[in-house]
Amino acid sequence: MTAPITRHYVDIVTAAGARRVHYRKCGSTGPTLLMAHQSPRSSAEYEPLMREWSRHFTCIAPDTPGFGQSDRLARPEPGIEDYADAIVEFIDAMGLAGTLAYGFHSGGIILVTALRRHPDRFRALAIGGYAIWTPQEVALFGQNYLPHFLPSAYGEHLTWLWNRMLEQTWFFPWFDTRNETRMSVAQDDPAYVNGGVIDMLDAGNAYRDGYGAVINAPRDIPAEGDAVPPCLITAYNGDPLQAHIDRLGAVPSNWEARKVATPADHYAASAEFLLAQGGVVAGDLPETHDAGFVAVRTAAFDGLIHWSGRRNSEVLTVHAPARSGALVDAAGSLVIDLPGHGLSHGWIGAAPSDWAPWQEVIDAVAAALGASRVAFEPLPEGDAERLYPDLSPDRHGAYLTRAWNIVRAERFFAPWYVASKATAIPFSPDAITPEALAKAHLARLRGVAAAACHRARQAAGIL
C-alpha cells in the first residue's frame, strides 16, 4: 500500500526573525531523506517520487524559502549561502541532524553548499545534475533568465508565464530560441506545464531570489582532501546539466559523478547509493498550531483539508465557491479550504452536487479543530454553469487569461457574465489592483469543484 503524503507547517525562529516553512512528509519507516526541489518549483513536484521512495525512507520535502507555501527570506538579494543555511535551520528545527538528502538541479546546489558549510548535518547526498556555469553563461543568464514577474492589470503576465514554463523543455536556456539550443526532451503536456505555472503564481516575483541565488552560485564543491559525507552526482541523457559532469573537476575521494541514460536510471542509482549509507530515524516532527492540514476520510472524500486560524474558535468560516480560506476576512475564527479548492485535496471522483458529503467533511474538520458553529460566505448571484466555466489546462494556456478576465469582471458586475447597467455593482479600487486580482485568480484556478459546490449549497438552501 502506498504511504499517504501529509502536509505541515513549522515556524523557524532565528536572529533574523521568524519564518514559516511548509513541508510534505511521506513514509514512516527507514531513515529520513530530506528532499530539496528545483527552482522555480515547490515540493509538490516530488509527490510521485516520495510515494515511490517511502518504501525505503521517511521522505521530508520542504518548500524552499519564497516558493510553494514557505515564507521568503527576510534579507534582500539572498545568496546561495543564505539558502544553504536556511535548509540547515530547517534540519535543526525538525531534529534531523545526520539526515540523508536528495536534490535535483537547484536543490542539489543548495544541498552541496549546505554540506560544505555544515557537514555534520548530513549523512550523504544524492544529486541530480550539478551546474558549473562558465562566466559567459552567468553573464547571459543574468541579462535574460530572471525577468521580473509581476501581475498586470489585464493579465498580460500570464501569456508570458505559460510560454516560459512550456518552452523550458524546448530550449535551454528557455529564452535562447535557436536550433543549436533545442532540447531532446520537448513536451507539451498541459497538466505538466500547469504544475510549474501554479508554482510560479505562488512564488510571484520572489522566484528571482531563490533562482538567482543558484544561477549566480560559484562552484562550491568541497576540496579533494576535505573530510565530508559522501555524495553521488548523476545526470541523464537530455538533461542540460549532463555535460556539466565533465566540468566538475576534482572532488573528495568519497564522491562520485557519472552520466546515466534515463531519468529512471538516475533515480535508481540515487536510491541505491542512499540506502547503502545508513542514516537517522525521525522522531516526532514539530508543526505550527495556527495553520495546517486535517486528514479527513468519508465515503466521498479521502485527503487533506487546509485550515488556518485559532483552534477551538467558536466559528469555522467556509468560503464561497471558487474562493479559498486565504481570501476570507474572518479574524478570530477558523477558515478552511473546501475540497477541490485552495490547498485542500479534491473529491474521490466527481464533486458531489448534493450538500450532505460537503457538510460531512466540514463537520469532521470542525470537530477536529474544536469549532462549534459554521458560517458561510454568501453565494454569488448567477447560474452555476455560467459562473464557473471549465478552466482545465489547455495546450495554449488560454485557461489562465480566461480565469483572469472572470475575476476582473466579477468585481464590476453581478453576475459577472452579464455586463450591463442593471448588473453593475459598486467596487473598491483596492479590489482591482493587480495584486488583489492575482490572489483571486489563483483561488479561481484551484477551485475545480466550484460549480458542484454552488449547486449543492443552492439545493440545500445555504445561500
Which domain covers residue 411, as residue numbers?
Answer: 291-460
pLDDT of 329 > 90? The answer is no
pLDDT of 330 > 90? The answer is no
Range name among 28-37, 277-286, 302-311 with the lowest pLDDT average: 277-286
- In terms of pLDDT, which residue wins out, 157 or 1? 157
**pLDDT per residue as tens digits for the range 386-416:** 999 999 999 999 999 999 999 999 999 999 9
214 falls within a domain? no
**pLDDT for res 331:** 79
Asked whether the beta carbons of 70 and 46 are under 8 A apart, the reply is no
What pTM does this model have?
0.95
- Element containing residue 308 per DSSP (H, E): strand 302-308
My answer on whether 298 and 386 are in the same domain is yes
Q: How far apart are CA 424 and CA 412, in angstroms?
A: 6
What percent of the chain shows pLDDT beyond 70? 100
Confidence of residue 1 (pLDDT cuts 50, 70, 90): low
**pLDDT for res 2:** 80
pLDDT of 157 > 90? The answer is yes
Q: How far apart are CA 125 and CA 127, in angstroms?
A: 6
**pLDDT per residue as tens digits for the range 224-268:** 989 999 999 999 999 999 999 999 999 999 999 999 999 999 999
**pLDDT per residue as tens digits for the range 234-245:** 999 999 999 999
Tell me how many domains the chain contains.
2
**pLDDT for res 371:** 96
My answer on whether 252 and 338 are in the same domain is no
Any residues with CB less than 8 A from the CB of 121 and at least 6 apart, and which?
Answer: 88, 91, 92, 96, 97, 98, 99, 114, 115
Q: Which sign does the torsion angle of CA 33, 272, 46, 212 carry?
A: positive
Any residues with CB less than 8 A from the CB of 365 and at least 6 apart, and which?
Answer: 294, 296, 305, 307, 316, 336, 371
| Final residue before a domain boundary, out of 275, 302, 320 | 275
Rg of the chain taking only CA atoms, in angstroms? 23
My answer on whether 245 and 327 are in the same domain is no
My answer on whether 269 and 296 are in the same domain is no
Burial class (CB in 10 A: 0-12, 13-18, 19+), 376: middle
Confidence of residue 20 (pLDDT cuts 50, 70, 90): very high
Q: Domain with 87 in it: what CATH number? A: 3.40.50.1820
* Average pLDDT over all residues of the chain: 96
